[in-house]
Amino acid sequence: MPLIKCENLHLHYDKTPVVHNVSFEVEEGDFVSIVGENGTGKSTLVKGILGLIKNADGKVIFDGISKNEIGYLPQQTSVQKDFPASVYEVVMSAFQNKSFPFYKKSQKQLADENIKLLGIENIRKKSYMDLSGGQQQRVLLARALCATKKLLILDEPITGLDPVVTAEFYELISELHKEKGLTILMVSHDVKRAVESSDKILHMDKKVLFFGKTEDYIKTEYFNKMTGGNENA
């Protein structure tokens, strides 16, 4: 059974249709990238899956996982980038809805493990707002990992990062997928990186234009259009 199954999903913003009749499945162990042009409903779809937007029609089915067991890394806003808290406080905020203000020993241990895993031990006491974009994303990823053992959903996590940091972040996500066995569902505007990292691609244009294996996607007109007809672009 899939961890997530979308069936004929329709999503609206202020009664304006944004996502139409989307059906696809995310199996345990998948790395699925959602790609497409700007304004094609990629982020809206993710928010609909998470219940942040009410479905106009259709349904999202979870099997073996609940919404509060999903690690979610949303797009950052300028307000979030200036959040006045330490790195450790931001990571621990993953548990606020569960036991705040009295954190359990196991929660503190998990936060410490993920801080170490993401290589941010040396900045754990620093202010989040004083970090570089790449460091902030590592902190938010550590926070997301504290919420899940199965599934990470990432919404364009590399937006605004320089090419070197972007490459490092994609490598990090791939390692989490391969070594920790995490299922990944990621919105990406970087098609080249997406096909290098993912085993499945969902190409959106307010509806599903393609969903399937990456090896099949790179043979399609959609991939050619996104890359200018150059697989090495």
pLDDT for the residue numbered 108:
92
Hey, what are 218's tokens?
């790179």
149, 170, 198: which is the final residue of a domain? 149
Mean pLDDT check: name the lowest of 43-52, 79-88, 117-126, 168-177.
79-88
φ/ψ of residue 77, rounded to 5: -105, 165
pLDDT for the residue numbered 161:
78
Q: Note whether 35 and 204 are within 8 A (CB).
A: yes
% of the chain with per-residue pLDDT over 70: 93
pLDDT for the residue numbered 75:
82
Q: Is residue 169 part of a domain?
A: no
- What's the chain's average pLDDT? 89
pLDDT, tens digit (0-9, with 9 covering 90-100), for 5-60 = 999 999 998 888 899 999 999 999 999 999 999 999 999 999 999 999 988 899 99
What is the pTM (predicted TM-score) of this model? Answer: 0.90
pLDDT for the residue numbered 77:
59
Same domain, 72 and 142: yes
Same domain, 30 and 87: no
Residue (of 167, 140, 165, 166) closest to 154 by Cα position? 140
pLDDT, tens digit (0-9, with 9 covering 90-100), for 135-153 = 999 999 999 999 998 999 9
Give dist(CA 233, CA 229) in Å, integer.
8
Pairing of strands 200-204, 208-213: antiparallel
Number of domains in the chain: 2
Hey, what are 145's tokens?
């990992």
Q: Is residue 26 part of a domain?
A: yes
Question: Is 223's pLDDT higher than 90?
Answer: yes
Q: Is residue 165 part of a domain?
A: no
pLDDT for the residue numbered 97:
66
Largest CA distance in the chain: 55
Q: Is residue 171 part of a domain?
A: no
Question: Please, which residues have CB within 8 angstroms of residue 158's CB and are 6 or more apart in sequence?
Answer: 137, 165, 166, 169, 170, 188, 190, 193
Contacts of 122-128 spanning 24+ positions with Cβ under 8 A: 123/87, 124/86, 124/87, 124/88, 125/86, 125/87, 125/88, 126/86, 126/87, 127/84, 127/85, 127/86, 127/87, 128/83, 128/84, 128/85, 128/86, 128/87, 128/89, 128/90
Question: Is 232's pLDDT higher than 60?
Answer: no
Q: Is residue 232 part of a domain?
A: yes
Write out the DSSP string of 112-169. HHHHHHTT-GGGTTSBGGGS-HHHHHHHHHHHHHTT-SSEEEEESTTTT--HHHHHHH
pLDDT for the residue numbered 103:
81
pLDDT, tens digit (0-9, with 9 covering 90-100), for 186-218 = 999 889 989 999 999 999 999 999 999 999 999
Same domain, 56 and 72: no
pLDDT for the residue numbered 233:
44
pLDDT for the residue numbered 31:
97
Same domain, 51 and 75: no
Give dist(CA 70, CA 150) in Å, integer.
7
